[in-house]
C-alpha cells in the first residue's frame, strides 16, 4: 500500500501504471470491505424500502429560543430512540437533521401509528410519590437508593419544612389529598400494607376543596388502578411500554422500572408533585467526602425547591415503601430513592450503589426532563413496500437508460476513446455503489429517491470531465502534435478546468447538504460524493489509462476508429477533402 501511495504525485506524468494499480487496489479493498461487512447493498431510505418517515420540528417555548441547541436536540434524539425502540420496533432510526429537525424513520411492518404517538409526545419527567411497589415477576428486593440533602439542605431542612407545611396548607393540599384516598384504596384491595402516618399527618392539613373531586371519582379509579397493577407484568416488553400510558400528571398511575440489580419492579405512583422543569440542573458526581461513591446531585429552581421540600418532608415520615419517590421519565421509573428527611435547600443528592455510568445516565435523564422543547410533526410519509419497490425499480431503469444513452453518445462521438470513457464511467459507478453500501453502515447513509436522482445527474458531471480532457487532446492534435505530447500538454489544462468546475459543483452540494433539510440532503450528499469520485477517477484512472493507450499504435497513429484521427479532426486541412467522402460512416455501426 505504501509504494503506490508514494508514487501518486509523480504517477500522473510518469508512472501511469502505479495510479491504475492504486485505484484497482482501492476498488478491490473497498469491495472486499463491502462483502466482509456483509452490506452488499446500500441501505434504502423509507421512500424506496417502504415504511413511515416522520419529520419533527422542535418548537421552543417563548423566550427560550436558545433551548434549540445541539445538546438538547441530541438529548431529545436519545429519548425518542429509547421510546421507539422500546416498542420493539426493529431498526427504527432517529436522527437530527439541520438544527431543529428530527427525522424518525420506521421501517415497514411495524406499528407506525403507535410509534407516531410515542415520538410525538414531549419528554416528560415527574417526581411521583411511591404508593406501593413490588418486584414484577421474580422476587427479591434490593436496596433502593436514598436521598439526602446536601450539607446546607440538612441544616435548614427540618425547621423550614415544618414551617412551610403548616403555614401554607394549600401548597401541599391537592397532592396529599389524592395520595390519601389512593392510599386507602390501595390498602383496601391489597393488604394492610400501609395506610400509615402519611394519611394522618397530611390529611390534617388538607383543605376541603381539592379532596372533593378526587375522593368521589377516586375510589372507582383506584380500584381500576389496583386491578391494572395486579395484572401488570413488567418483564413483558409490550406491557411495560404501555403501562400507565396516557395518565395525566395529576392522576395516580402505574409504572415499571428496573432496580439496581436489574430486576423489573412495578409501582403504583401518586400524582406528580414535582416535574422535570423544576430541576435546574443534575450532575453525576463522585462523592469523596462520604465515600458514597457515585452520586447524582440535583439543583432545583426556586419553585421546584419548595415543591421538593414539601414532598420530601411528607415522605420522610412514611414507612417504606411510601417514603420513596419515583423519578418517572415518559412513564418509566428511572429511580426510586427513599427520603430520610425533608430537603428544602434547593439541592439534593441521590446516593446508591451507582456505577459511574448509572449515575451519569440518571443525571442525564433528570436534565432531560427539564428540556424545554416540544416537537411538532411537520411531515409524515407512509410508503407501502409495493410503491417503494416500484420507485426503486423506476429509478434504476431511469439510471440504466441514462447511462446507456450517454454510452451510445460517447461511442458515436469519441469512438475508440470510449475504451477509456466507458471503463471510467464504470469505475465511477462501482466506487459510488460500494461507497454507498459502506456508508450505509458507517454513517447511516440511506439511499432515497432524490439520492438516486443525484446519482443519475452525476453521470453527466462525470462524463463531462472526459469530454473536457478529450476535447483538449483533440485541440492539441489539431494544432499538429502527435498523440503522446498532445496528451501530456492537454492534461495540465484539462486538469485545471476539471478541478475548478468540480469545485463549484462540490460547493453547491456542500452548501445544500449543510443548509437544507429532508430529501434535499440525500440528493446533495450523492452529488457531493460523485463529484469527489469524479476527480479521483479522472486523476487516477482516466488520465493514466489515456497515457498508456497513447503508446498503442491504434491511438498513436490516429486510426480512423480511434476518435483521434488527425485527418478527421482536421489537423491537416488539405487532406480533409479527400477523406471526407469516406468519413461519414454511420456512427451507429461503431
Partner 1 sequence: MSKLGNLGARLHRGEVGYDFVGNRKIWYGISILITITAVLGLAVRGLNMGIEFQGGAVFTTPKHMTASVAKAEGYAQDASGHDAVVQKLGDGSLRIQIAGIDTDKSDAIKDKLAKDLNVNSENINADLVGPSWGDQIANKAWQGLAIFMVLVVVYLAIAFEWRMAVAALVALIHDITITTGIYALVGFEVTPGTVIGLLTILGYSLYDTVVVFDSLKEQTKDITKQTRWTFSDVANRSINSTLMRSINTTVVALLPVAGLLFIGGGFLGAGMLNDISLSLFVGLAAGAYSSIFIATPLVADLKEREPQMKALKKRVLAKRAQAAAEGGPLEAETAHERYDDEPEDAAHAVVGPRNQPASRNRGRGRPSGKRR
Inter-residue contact 441 to 43 (CB < 8 Å)? yes
- Residue 386 CB, nearest approach to partner 1 (Å): 7
- Residue 527 CB, nearest approach to partner 1 (Å): 7
Q: Could you give the dihedral angle defined by the CA atoms of residues 238, 365, 128 and 219, in that order, rounded to the nearest 10 degrees?
A: -20
SS3 state at 266: strand
Task: Decide: is 572 part of the binding site for partner 1 (CB under 8 A).
Answer: no
Task: Decide: is 156 part of the binding site for partner 1 (CB under 8 A).
Answer: no
Comparison of 274 and 456: residue with beta carbon closer to partner 1: 456
Structure-block grid coordinates of residue 319:
414507612
- Residue 555 CB, nearest approach to partner 1 (Å): 15
Comparison of 24 and 512: residue with beta carbon closer to partner 1: 512
Span of 32-40, 184-192, 380-388, 534-542 interacting with partner 1 by CB under 8 A: 380-388
Structure-block grid coordinates of residue 270:
401518586
Candidate list 463, 473, 529, 538; residue touching partner 1; CB under 8 A = 463
Candidate list 86, 98, 169, 196; residue touching partner 1; CB under 8 A = 98
Task: Decide: is 574 part of the binding site for partner 1 (CB under 8 A).
Answer: yes
Task: Decide: is 247 part of the binding site for partner 1 (CB under 8 A).
Answer: no
- Residue 339 CB, nearest approach to partner 1 (Å): 40
Comparison of 192 and 589: residue with beta carbon closer to partner 1: 589
What DSSP string runs through 332-382?
Answer: EEEE--EESS---SSEEEEEEEE-HHHHHHHHHHHHHHT--EEEEEEEEEE
Task: Decide: is 475 part of the binding site for partner 1 (CB under 8 A).
Answer: yes
- Residue 9 CB, nearest approach to partner 1 (Å): 22
> Terminal CA-to-CA distance of the chain, rounded, Å?
39
Task: Decide: is 554 part of the binding site for partner 1 (CB under 8 A).
Answer: no
Structure-block grid coordinates of residue 461:
458531471
**Nearest CA to 240 among 260, 216, 265, 219?**
265
Candidate list 26, 426, 548, 569; residue touching partner 1; CB under 8 A = 569
Candidate list 221, 508, 536, 556; residue touching partner 1; CB under 8 A = 508
Structure-block grid coordinates of residue 128:
411521583
Q: In what order do the strands lie in the sheet with 293-300?
A: 279-287, 293-300, 347-354, 146-149, 338-339
* Interface with partner 1 in residues 174-193 (CB under 8 A): none
Task: Decide: is 403 part of the binding site for partner 1 (CB under 8 A).
Answer: yes
Task: Decide: is 200 part of the binding site for partner 1 (CB under 8 A).
Answer: no
Span of 206-214, 365-373, 451-459, 539-547 interacting with partner 1 by CB under 8 A: 451-459
Inter-residue contact 484 to 476 (CB < 8 Å)? no
DSSP assigned state of 45 = P
Q: 500: burial class by Cβ within 10 Å (0-12, 13-18, 19+)?
A: exposed
Task: Decide: is 568 part of the binding site for partner 1 (CB under 8 A).
Answer: yes
Q: How far apart are CA 391 and CA 389, in angstroms?
A: 5
Candidate list 350, 509, 538, 550; residue touching partner 1; CB under 8 A = 509
Candidate list 28, 200, 212, 387; residue touching partner 1; CB under 8 A = 387
Task: Decide: is 450 part of the binding site for partner 1 (CB under 8 A).
Answer: yes
Tell me the sheet residues that pair with 267. Answer: 133, 255
- Residue 279 CB, nearest approach to partner 1 (Å): 30
Candidate list 65, 74, 91, 390; residue touching partner 1; CB under 8 A = 390
Q: How far apart are CA 104 and CA 387, in angstroms?
A: 20
Comparison of 343 and 468: residue with beta carbon closer to partner 1: 468
**Nearest CA to 163 among 304, 303, 310?**
310
- Residue 383 CB, nearest approach to partner 1 (Å): 5
Span of 127-135, 162-170, 213-221, 470-478 interacting with partner 1 by CB under 8 A: 470-478
Task: Decide: is 299 part of the binding site for partner 1 (CB under 8 A).
Answer: no
Using the CB atoms, write b or e for 288-305: b if 16+ within 10 Å.
Answer: eeeebebbbbbbbbeebb
Q: Residue 283, by phi and psi: left (phi above 0), alpha (psi -120 to 50) or beta?
A: beta
Q: Residue 233, by phi and psi: left (phi above 0), alpha (psi -120 to 50) or beta?
A: beta
**Nearest CA to 265 among 128, 355, 137, 125?**
137
Strands (E), 98-250: 101-107, 125-135, 146-149
Inter-residue contact 12 to 544 (CB < 8 Å)? yes
Span of 80-88, 134-142, 306-314, 563-571 interacting with partner 1 by CB under 8 A: 563-571
**Nearest CA to 564 among 577, 578, 554?**
554
* Interface with partner 1 in residues 512-541 (CB under 8 A): 512, 515-520, 523-524, 527
Task: Decide: is 481 part of the binding site for partner 1 (CB under 8 A).
Answer: no
Number of residues near partner 1 (by CB under 8 A)? 86
Span of 70-78, 176-184, 194-202, 468-476 interacting with partner 1 by CB under 8 A: 468-476
Comparison of 11 and 432: residue with beta carbon closer to partner 1: 432
Comparison of 309 and 566: residue with beta carbon closer to partner 1: 566
Q: How far apart are CA 424 and CA 421, in angstroms?
A: 5
Using the CB atoms, write b or e for 136-169: b if 16+ within 10 Å.
Answer: beeeeeeebbbbbbbeebeebbeebbeebbeeee
Tell me the sheet residues that pair with 149. Answer: 348
Candidate list 282, 461, 490, 540; residue touching partner 1; CB under 8 A = 461
- Residue 1 CB, nearest approach to partner 1 (Å): 34
Task: Decide: is 162 part of the binding site for partner 1 (CB under 8 A).
Answer: no
- Residue 380 CB, nearest approach to partner 1 (Å): 4
* Interface with partner 1 in residues 41-80 (CB under 8 A): 47, 55, 57
Amino acid at each position: 500500500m505504501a509504494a503506490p501511495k508514494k508514487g501518486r504525485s509523480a504517477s500522473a506524468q510518469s508512472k501511469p501504471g502505479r495510479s491504475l494499480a492504486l485505484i484497482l487496489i482501492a476498488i478491490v479493498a473497498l469491495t472486499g470491505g463491502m462483502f466482509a461487512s456483509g452490506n452488499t447493498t446500500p441501505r434504502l431510505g423509507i421512500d424506496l424500502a417502504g415504511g413511515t418517515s416522520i419529520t419533527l420540528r422542535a418548537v421552543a417555548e417563548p423566550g427560550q429560543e436558545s433551548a434549540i441547541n445541539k445538546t438538547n436536540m441530541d438529548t431529545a434524539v436519545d429519548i425518542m430512540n429509547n421510546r421507539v425502540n422500546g416498542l420493539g420496533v426493529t431498526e427504527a432510526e432517529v436522527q437530527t437533521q439541520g438544527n431543529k429537525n428530527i427525522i424518525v424513520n420506521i421501517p415497514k411492518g411495524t406499528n407506525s401509528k403507535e410509534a407516531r404517538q410515542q415520538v410525538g409526545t414531549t419528554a416528560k419527567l415527574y417526581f411521583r410519590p411511591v404508593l406501593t411497589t413490588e418486584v414484577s415477576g421474580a422476587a427479591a428486593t434490593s436496596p433502593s437508593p436514598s436521598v439526602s440533602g446536601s450539607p446546607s439542605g440538612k441544616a435548614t431542612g427540618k425547621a423550614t419544612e415544618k414551617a412551610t407545611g403548616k403555614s401554607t396548607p394549600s401548597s401541599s393540599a391537592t397532592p396529599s389529598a389524592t395520595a390519601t384516598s389512593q392510599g386507602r384504596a390501595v390498602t383496601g384491595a391489597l393488604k394492610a400494607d400501609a395506610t400509615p402516618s402519611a394519611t394522618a399527618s397530611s390529611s390534617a392539613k388538607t383543605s376541603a376543596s381539592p379532596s372533593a373531586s378526587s375522593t368521589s371519582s377516586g375510589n372507582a379509579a383506584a380500584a381500576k388502578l389496583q386491578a391494572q397493577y395486579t395484572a401488570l407484568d413488567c418483564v413483558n416488553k409490550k406491557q411495560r411500554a404501555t403501562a400507565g400510558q396516557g395518565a395525566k400528571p395529576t392522576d395516580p398511575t402505574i409504572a415499571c422500572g428496573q432496580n439496581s440489580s436489574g430486576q423489573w419492579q412495578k409501582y403504583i405512583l401518586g400524582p406528580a408533585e414535582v416535574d422535570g422543569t423544576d430541576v435546574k440542573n443534575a450532575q453525576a458526581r463522585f462523592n469523596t467526602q462520604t465515600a458514597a461513591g457515585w452520586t447524582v446531585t440535583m439543583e432545583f429552581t426556586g419553585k421546584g425547591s419548595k415543591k421538593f421540600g414539601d414532598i420530601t418532608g411528607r415522605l420522610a415520615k412514611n414507612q417504606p415503601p411510601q417514603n420513596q419517590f419515583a423519578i418517572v421519565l415518559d412513564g418509566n421509573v428511572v429511580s426510586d430513592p427513599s427520603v430520610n428527611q425533608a430537603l428544602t435547600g434547593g439541592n439534593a443528592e441521590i446516593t446508591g450503589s451507582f456505577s459511574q455510568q448509572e449515575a451519569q445516565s440518571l443525571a442525564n435523564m433528570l436534565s432531560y426532563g427539564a428540556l424545554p422543547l416540544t416537537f411538532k410533526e411537520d411531515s409524515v410519509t407512509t410508503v407501502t413496500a409495493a410503491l417503494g419497490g416500484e420507485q426503486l425499480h423506476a429509478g434504476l431503469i431511469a439510471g440504466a437508460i441514462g447511462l446507456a444513452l450517454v454510452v451510445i453518445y460517447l461511442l458515436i462521438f469519441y469512438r475508440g476513446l470510449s475504451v477509456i470513457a466507458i471503463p471510467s464511467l464504470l469505475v465511477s459507478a462501482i466506487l459510488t455503489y460500494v461507497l454507498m453500501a459502506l456508508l450505509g453502515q458507517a454513517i447511516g447513509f440511506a439511499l432515497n429517491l432524490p439520492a438516486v436522482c443525484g446519482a443519475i445527474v452525476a453521470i453527466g458531471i462525470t462524463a463531462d470531465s472526459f469530454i473536457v480532457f478529450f476535447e483538449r487532446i483533440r485541440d492539441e492534435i489539431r494544432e499538429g502534435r502527435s498523440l503522446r505530447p498532445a496528451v501530456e500538454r492537454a492534461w495540465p489544462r484539462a486538469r485545471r478546468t476539471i478541478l475548478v468546475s468540480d469545485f463549484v459543483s462540490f460547493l453547491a452540494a456542500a452548501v445544500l447538504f449543510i443548509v437544507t433539510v429532508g430529501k434535499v440532503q440525500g440528493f446533495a450528499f450523492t452529488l457531493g460524493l460523485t463529484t469527489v469520485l469524479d476527480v479521483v477517477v479522472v486523476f487516477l484512472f482516466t488520465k493514466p489509462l489515456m497515457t498508456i493507450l497513447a503508446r498503442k499504435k491504434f491511438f498513436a497513429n490516429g486510426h480512423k476508429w480511434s476518435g483521434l484521427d488527425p485527418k478527421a479532426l482536421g489537423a491537416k486541412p488539405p487532406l480533409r477533402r479527400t477523406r471526407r467522402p469516406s468519413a461519414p460512416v454511420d456512427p451507429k455501426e461503431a
